[in-house]
Amino acid sequence: MTWIVHTAHTSNYPNPISFQAGDVVEIGIHDDVFPGWIRVSTRDGNQGWAPIQYLHIDDAGKTATALQDYSAREMNTRVGEQLILHYELNGWGWVENDHKKTGWVPLAAIQSIDDLDHLTEIGKEQGGRMTIINRPYNVETDYKKVSEFLIKHYLPGNADGNWLEPEWEYANFHPMLDQEKKDRWRIWEVAGDIVAFAHYEWKMGEGFFQFHPDYRVLRKETLDYAEKNLTGISSRDGRKYLCAYVNDYDQLLLELVQNRGYLKEEEETRPLYRFKIPDPFPEISLVEGFSLISLADECDWEKVHRVMWRGFDHSGEPPGGEEELISRQKMFDTPKARRDLKIAVKAPNGDFVAFCGMFYEDHNQYAYVEPVATDPDYRRMGLGKAAVLEGIRRCGELGAKEAFVGSDQLFYQAIGFRKVFNTECWVKYFN
């Protein structure tokens, strides 16, 4: 997509750093102006800024291993110059000019040349460009289309910033999801291909936004739609509200919500952490008498239901009945689920006392941890850790290179998970 420069940019770094996948770099301070960037020193002693998504920081926090090739080369631009934006990352865009030169420029210095107000008019073409249309989510056909969209545009380390595809799968079959309002979800398409998607996770009042890398210019339009169609009703005072979820490095969307009067709700921040899967995988220790099994070995939904109920700190025994067990099975037997990746720790008495639901996304070769629970009577024994590591180990054998979890609990950090980014919750009440 073509963008135009409205504020000239001149690089302050005549000797930009670069590294290749596998290189080890020393790490320094984080950038306060552009979240998601970290100061690094390369093997030749050169220093510069690198995106944290491209690095796996070691346990000591002093060095990192590069996950992919990278150059910090910036592009000097002039006002009015037209550029091709290839992708965005942490408030910057990798662009190409008319002379086929490439480099980074701040997104705040450029804007799309397309007039979105006209382009989104359904069923028309202007100037030979393909029309962006928007339409309601189709419950029967669009689940798979969104799944394929998330897989296709994934970048290593979740640098694309969209939901991980297993997040989408897990949420869609979770009993907490409000199935009745899914017709409020909205899809933007070009020639039948999804380029943006606005939706809630569990219920009305939440606004999540997924973008094709060339169509992040739809930020304003998707937010406009969410404000009109995805708002919830406050139980306190009956006012309409929207919690817009924004990645902490997306400067343009952050500016948009702040300018509209949204306020950040710190407690609702959603962190994403990543674990680089080691090869060979270390031995997993387990207390004597306990064993690691999967649902492929023993699929007992009553045992799963009990450990999940107690593991999420509900008191007493779980509610019984066939309906409860069917709901629990639906939660785990999702379309791409593998029972051999749903790991339980079995106690000597036969009960499941820790559980880890694990997903493997085979196209992009990563694991996703969701959910994890340990019975309170069996905590501080390393059982939950063993279940998580066993699930990751199995995904590694299938080809996974990294694992993700949507939590910043010290439990995961102790295993070796390191922060990628936060998705911040910005709330606005409408009178």
Residues 6+ apart with CB under 8 A from 194: 145, 146, 149, 187, 188, 212
* Residues 286 and 343 reside in one and the same domain: yes
Across residues 336-349, what is the average pLDDT? 97
* Residues 239 and 187 reside in one and the same domain: yes
* Residues 54 and 157 reside in one and the same domain: no
* Residues 197 and 256 reside in one and the same domain: yes
Q: Residue 53 phi/psi, 5° resolution?
A: -65, -20
* Residues 123 and 265 reside in one and the same domain: yes
* Residues 144 and 191 reside in one and the same domain: yes
How does pLDDT run across 125-149, given as a tens digit for each residue? 334 446 889 999 999 999 999 999 9
Distance CA 87, CA 95 (A): 8
CATH of the domain at 99: 2.30.30.40
Across residues 330-352, what is the average pLDDT? 97
Which pLDDT value is given to residue 103?
Answer: 97
CATH of the domain at 327: 3.40.630.30
Distance of CA 182 to the CA centre of its chain: 20
* Residues 100 and 135 reside in one and the same domain: no
**Does residue 417 fall inside a structural domain?**
no
* Residues 247 and 308 reside in one and the same domain: no
* Residues 31 and 99 reside in one and the same domain: yes
Which pLDDT value is given to residue 115?
Answer: 37
Task: Report which listed range, 58-72, 101-115, 288-302, is most confident.
Answer: 288-302
* Residues 148 and 228 reside in one and the same domain: yes
**Does residue 410 fall inside a structural domain?**
no
Q: Quote the domain boundaries for residue 365.
A: 278-400
Distance CA 361, CA 382 (A): 26
Which pLDDT value is given to residue 122?
Answer: 33
Give yes or no for residue 120 having a pLDDT over 60. no
* Residues 260 and 287 reside in one and the same domain: no
Look over the chain and give the mean of its residue pLDDT values, rounded to a whole number. 93
Total count of domains within the chain: 3
Q: Is-contact 404 224, C-beta < 8 A?
A: no
Across residues 160-186, what is the average pLDDT? 96
Question: How does residue 109 score in pLDDT terms, banded at 50, 70 and 90?
Answer: confident
Give yes or no for residue 176 having a pLDDT over 90. yes
**Does residue 184 fall inside a structural domain?**
yes
Give yes or no for residue 375 having a pLDDT over 60. yes
